[in-house]
A and B are shown apart, each in its own frame.
Chain A
Amino acid sequence: MSTETSHPRSVLDVDSLVVRYPGSPPVIAVDGVSLSIAAGETVALVGESGCGKSSLARAVVGIEKRASGTVTVDGRDVTPLGLRRRSPELTGVQMVFQDPATSLNPRRSIGAQIADGVELSTRRGEKTGTPGEWLARVGLDREWVGRYPHQLSGGQKQRVAIARALAAGPRLLVADEPISALDASTQTTVAALMRSLTTAVGAGLLFISHDLAVVRRIADRTLVMYAGRVVESGPTEALWQNPQHPYTRSLLAAIPAPDGAGRIPVAPTDAERATWLDAPVATTTQS
C-alpha cells in the first residue's frame, strides 16, 4: 500500500497508519494509509465526508490515537497529544481547524492568541514577527491585535488561526477542511494565502478538503481517499487531467459545470460504490 517513496527532505512520513474507533464492530476510519510530504510541498487530501480525512489529520498531529502504523515529523515520532506539556520538538506540528468559530478563544484578544505562536518560535530562537506583522501577513489590519474573535467574520477568524499556527514556525501544517465553513469568495483566497505562507517558511502543508476546484489551484500533489484508504495519488494536474481510479473520476464528474445549464451531478449508485473498493490503487506519475 506504500505508494509514496520516502523523500530525503520529507517533513512528514506516515506509514501504514490505521485509526480505529471502538464499537461493535469497530469503525476503521483510516485503513493503512502511507504518505509523505516534503518541505515546502502542499499535499491535498480529498474525498467524500466520512472517508477518514479528518481522522487521518487528527492522527497525524496526535489528537487521535493511532491503532497501528507510524507517523514521524522530521524523523521524530509524533506521540499522542496528552495533557502533559508537548515536547518542544513536536510543536513543529500545527493545525488549522475546520470551524473558525471554535478555533479561537472567544475571551482572548486575537493578538494574544497569535502571540502564543510567536512566543513558541521565539523560545526556539527563531524570529517570526510580531502579532501585528502576522495580522498584516494574513491580510488583516495590524491594528486589530486588541480585537476579539466575535468582532471578526468567519474568514477573518480563519486567517487569525492560520497566523497563530504559522507564527509558531511549524515544520508541518495540517489543515482540516479549513475553508469549508467559508463562503465561496473567501475560500480561494484563504487557501491560496495558506499555501503561499507555508511554502514561504518552508513547511509542509497537508490540506484536507472536499473542494476539488480549490485543491487544483493550490496543491502540488493530491491524494484521493475513499473508505479509509488512499485510492489514487499523484501530481494534482496529472490526476485532474487523467484520473485512473473510478472513484476519482466520479469525484471529478461531480463538480457542477458552470455552464448555466443548471445540471446537478448524478449521485453514484451503490453498485458503483461497491466497485470502487475493489478497483486497483492508482498512482499517477507523469504530469
Chain B
Amino acid sequence: MTATAARPSNSRGPRVRAPRGGRLRLPAVWRTPLAIVGAVIALAWVVVAFTAPLWVPYPPDAQMLPRLLPPGTDGAILGTDALGRDLFSRLMSGAGVTIPLSLMLVAASVVIGTVIGASAGYFGKWVDEVLMRITDLFMAFPTVILAMVVAASLGPSLFNAVIAAIVVSWPQYARVTRSLVLGLRGQNYVIAGRLLGHSPLRSLLADIAPNITGPVVVLAALDIGSAILLLSGLSFLGLGAQPPTAEWGSMISSALQNFDAWWIGLFPGLAILTVVMAFNFIGDSLRDALDPSSRTERAASGVVAAPKTEDEALKGTGASA
C-alpha cells in the first residue's frame, strides 16, 4: 500500500481513500500468487501459440512416425496418434489455432456487446426495449445448443465455429454494459458534460466509457477461458476444426476411437485445462483488484477496505450480473 501512502495528503477528513488510480493498478493485481501463476501460464501458451511452427520437431499433419507410440519413445515426447502424427507437435500447433481465435472472438463479442448495451442503456426508451429484447432472445437458448445450431447451419468449419461462439457470447456484455451505462448516465458528471454540449457519442466515449472499461475488461478476461472451452467443444463435436487441422477439441474427439491410447486424449485435455485455468486466474485477480465488494480477503490480510463509492458499487453489480 505504498502507493496510497505516497500520495500527497491533501485529503481532508477521516475518510480512508480507496487505493484506486486513474489507470488500472496492475502492480497490485499481479501481487497475488494466483495472478502470477495465471499470467505465467497464459503468457507461456501465448508465446507457444505464435512461435510453435518455428520449433516443433515435426510438421503437425505429417504422418511420418509409427502409429500409437506411447509417450517418450522414438523421440515422440508425448507419443503419436492413430495416424502416426507427433502428438507434441500437434499439441503445440493446436495452441496457435485455439488461443488466437478465442482472443479474437472475445474481442469481437466485447465490441458488439458493449456497443449494443451502451446504446440501449444510454438512449433508453424504445431503443433499449428493442435491443434488449433481441439480447434476451439470444440469451434464452443454452449457450452450447445455440452455438451448435449456428455452427451446424453454417456448415462445420473453424471459421463458422468462431461466428457461432460470437453469436452466443455477446449478449452478456450487452447486459452488463447496459446496466452500467444506465447507472452512469444520470451521474452529475455526465449531466455536466451534456450541459457543456457533448454529443451522445462524446458523452458515451469521454464521460461514460472510462468508467465501464474496468468491469468489461474483467468480464472479458473471465470469458477467455469459456471461449476456449466453447471453441474446443464445438471442434470436439465435429462442428469446428476439421481434420487434419491440429485443434485440441478435435484431438480429444479422435482419442475416443483409441481409448487404450490414453495419451492422445490426456495431453490436449491438460492443455485446455491449464490455459482455461490460467485465464480464469487472471480474470479473478483483475476482478478482485477492481471490484471492492470481492475484496474481503484482501481486507482481512491487512489492506484497508475502501469505502464503496457509487461507481464502484455499480461495478460490483455489473461484474456479477
Q: Are A151 and B10 in contact (CB under 8 A)?
A: yes
CB contact between B195 and one of A84, A91, A153, A154 (< 8 Å): that residue: A91
Q: What 0/1 readout, one digit per residue, does chain A (145-173) give for beta carbons within 8 Å of chain B?
A: 00010111111100001001100100000
8 Å CB interface, B178-224 against A: 187-189, 191-200, 206-207, 210-211
Stretch at the interface among A5-13, A105-113, A228-236, A249-257: A105-113
Cα separation A31 to B38 with both chains bound (whole Å): 62
Q: Are A154 and B211 in contact (CB under 8 A)?
A: no
Q: Are B21 and A81 in contact (CB under 8 A)?
A: no
Chain A residues within an 8 Å CB radius of B311: 106
- With contacts A105-B211, A107-B210 taken as known, whether A116 is within 8 angstroms of B196 at the C-beta atoms is yes
Q: What 0/1 readout, one digit per residue, does chain A (226-268) give for beta carbons within 8 Å of chain B?
A: 0000000000000000000000000000000000000000000
Task: Assess whether A56 is interfacial by the CB under 8 Å rule.
Answer: no
Q: Are A83 and B123 in contact (CB under 8 A)?
A: yes
A142 to chain B: closest CB distance in Å?
15
Task: Assess whether A45 is interfacial by the CB under 8 Å rule.
Answer: no
CB contact between A102 and one of B12, B20, B188 (< 8 Å): that residue: B188
A150 to chain B: closest CB distance in Å?
6
Chain A residues within an 8 Å CB radius of B200: 83-85
Cα separation A86 to B203 with both chains bound (whole Å): 12
CB contact between B309 and one of A83, A101, A148, A151 (< 8 Å): that residue: A101
Q: Are B192 and A108 in contact (CB under 8 A)?
A: no
Task: Assess whether B142 is interfacial by the CB under 8 Å rule.
Answer: no
Q: What 0/1 readout, one digit per residue, does chain B (1-34) give for beta carbons within 8 Å of chain A?
A: 0000001101111000110111000000000000
Task: Assess whether B310 is interfacial by the CB under 8 Å rule.
Answer: yes
Task: Assess whether B122 is interfacial by the CB under 8 Å rule.
Answer: yes
Chain B residues within an 8 Å CB radius of A61: 195
Chain B residues within an 8 Å CB radius of A106: 22, 211, 309, 311
Q: Are A86 and B197 in contact (CB under 8 A)?
A: yes
Chain B residues within an 8 Å CB radius of A151: 7-8, 10-11
Residue of B with least CB distance to A170: B195
8 Å CB interface, A161-217 against B: 161, 164-165, 168, 183
Chain A residues within an 8 Å CB radius of B10: 151-153, 156
Chain A residues within an 8 Å CB radius of B193: 105, 116
Cα separation A96 to B123 with both chains bound (whole Å): 24
Q: Are A120 and B197 in contact (CB under 8 A)?
A: yes
- With contacts A105-B210, A106-B309, A108-B22 taken as known, whether A85 is within 8 angstroms of B189 at the C-beta atoms is no
Chain B residues within an 8 Å CB radius of A153: 10-13
Task: Assess whether A34 is interfacial by the CB under 8 Å rule.
Answer: no
Cα separation A168 to B196 with both chains bound (whole Å): 7
B119 to chain A: closest CB distance in Å?
11
Task: Assess whether A88 is interfacial by the CB under 8 Å rule.
Answer: yes
Task: Assess whether A136 is interfacial by the CB under 8 Å rule.
Answer: no
Chain A residues within an 8 Å CB radius of B187: 102
Cα separation A168 to B194 with both chains bound (whole Å): 12
Q: Are A155 and B196 in contact (CB under 8 A)?
A: no
Q: Are B11 and A104 in contact (CB under 8 A)?
A: no
- With contacts A94-B195, A151-B10 taken as known, whether A99 is within 8 angstroms of B188 at the C-beta atoms is yes
- With contacts A81-B191, A150-B18 taken as known, whether A105 is within 8 angstroms of B207 at the C-beta atoms is yes
Cα separation A120 to B22 with both chains bound (whole Å): 24
Chain A residues within an 8 Å CB radius of B198: 85, 116
The 3 A-B pairs at the shortest CB distance, nearest first, are namely: A107-B210, A148-B22, A153-B12
Can you list 19 pairs linking A and B with CB atoms under 8 Å apart? Answer: A61-B195, A81-B195, A83-B122, A84-B199, A87-B197, A95-B191, A97-B188, A102-B188, A102-B189, A102-B310, A103-B189, A105-B207, A108-B22, A108-B206, A108-B210, A116-B193, A150-B20, A152-B11, A164-B196
Given A105-B211, A108-B207, A151-B11, 18 new contacts (CB under 8 A):
A81-B191, A83-B123, A83-B200, A85-B197, A85-B200, A88-B197, A99-B188, A101-B310, A105-B189, A105-B193, A116-B198, A116-B206, A120-B196, A150-B17, A150-B21, A152-B11, A154-B12, A161-B192
